[in-house]
Amino acid sequence: MKIGRYEYDINEKDIFMDNGACIQLTTQSKENSSWGGTPNPVLSQALAKKVRKMELISRKGYWDTVKYFSIKEVKQNNESAKNSQTAEKDSRQG
């Protein structure tokens, strides 16, 4: 899943936080900040809409006003799916 300028491998263990204004990935970060910490990557509005339509697993969090969740199943993007199909065909032929 591409969040900002970085690509993240998302699975069921990754936790997202939805505070009503934005959705953030809380378990991974490849971003740097000037204060030395690693800020949570924020999903774009378009990606947030797609994530909200996926099957979500509710998680307990620190605050009652914020929703914490995981994505039950992350589907492969089209390129990865094509590559796996090509590899499968090659293994049957060879």
pTM of the model: 0.68
15: nearest Cα among 74, 77, 61:
61
- Chain-centre distance for alpha carbon 85: 23
Q: What backbone torsions phi and psi does residue 78 show, to the nearest 5 degrees?
A: -60, -40
Alpha-carbon distance of 48 to 28, in angstroms, equals 17
pLDDT digits (tens, 9 = 90+) for 10-20: 999 999 999 98
Bridge-based pairing state of the strands 6-7 and 2-3: antiparallel
Residues contacting residue 90 through CB under 8 Å, at least 6 positions apart: none
pLDDT digits (tens, 9 = 90+) for 2-55: 998 889 999 999 999 999 899 999 998 887 776 767 788 999 999 999 998 999
